[in-house]
Structure 1
Amino acid sequence: MYRLPLILVGISLIALVFAILLFVKTTQHTDPIQFSSDEKVSSESAKLVIDVSGAVKNPGVYTMEHGSRVSDAIAMAGGFSDKADLDTIAIQINQASILSDGAKVYIPIQGTTNQQLPVSQVLSSKTISVNTASADELDTLSGIGPATAKKIIDNRPYTKLEDLVTKKAMGQSLFDKLKVQLTL
């Protein structure tokens, strides 16, 4: 007579112990999930290669850290030579400008003619970083207006220049026209 209730109580106790163990096991502290980006910045991509020429003591091609400025490139090339045209340098060269990969820094020499390049050549000789440029900087490129500049900014970051086309920030023909003026 008491046998059936005892069996039911025993099964209930076993089920209760099992439920408690299961609850404790699932609520134990586990390490939080860590998300990592597939994009890894290598030390190579953080380097810039800069060509320094003209009136410097040691003209040449130098490897510099990302974020370096024109003044850093001049210092790396040994500083101004005795032939440097300091007045022209003070007027035309912004030594606080941040360099981009592949930039050329030319220090004018005294007595050379001060030839002005056409605006189209000046614009095409300067590269613009698609990952850091402002909308105004992007707008200086021929064929890029405010709408395209916004698309470029909204689709950042880019790991290669071709991502501009694959992410539909610009068309292939515009990319082909501008790719020499762009950098990461």
Structure 2
Amino acid sequence: MKSLLHYVKQQYLLIVIIVGVVMMLIFFLFNRSDTKANGEDAFETDSFKTMDLEEDLIDDVPLVLMVDVKGAVKLPGVYTFTEGDRIDDAIKRAGGFTEDAEEIHVNLALKLLDEQVIYVPEMGEAPVEIEQYWKEAGDGESGKVNLNTATIEELQGLTGIGPAKAASIVSHREEHGPYQTIDDLKNVSGIGEKSFDSLKDFIEVN
């Protein structure tokens, strides 16, 4: 009888131990699953935050503006600016106004636009809208300056062409006759290959 009771006690203890181990395993697995789920949620949240940050950084990158500054400035040419810059910044980049500049016709507070042309007239020169300026200088609808009809003032609207070079272009035309091709411009004193390359897309002959 004692042996039977001892056997039952042993079996009971074994069953209790097994049940305890099983419960511990279930508890461990449940906690692990919950921790993993929380970790995935945290990872997804961090991922979304990273994506939002990247989008914000992209939105914060300023646009690059290409602006052509012409006329009565010391260093006419094409310059790069960022969104929010103003005409005042463009004039400063181009070396400032010349002594003959008619500054009153230039609104320095205006914001710059991509592919914008800023033309600063000289004293005594009638201010015109830039589209009208190009049409008159080009003597047509192409928007290019016609080397055979443009005046000295109109030629100065071209990048890198000041009063002296503009006068030389007109003098060459008067002495040798109309330009036959735009390449003839390289025959003018002071117009080298580099200068011609910067002008060829803005000039024509008719």
TM-score of the aligned structures, taking structure 1 as reference length: 0.49
Q: Greater helix percent: which structure?
A: 2
Greater Rg, structure 1 or structure 2? 2
TM-score (ref. length: structure 2)? 0.45
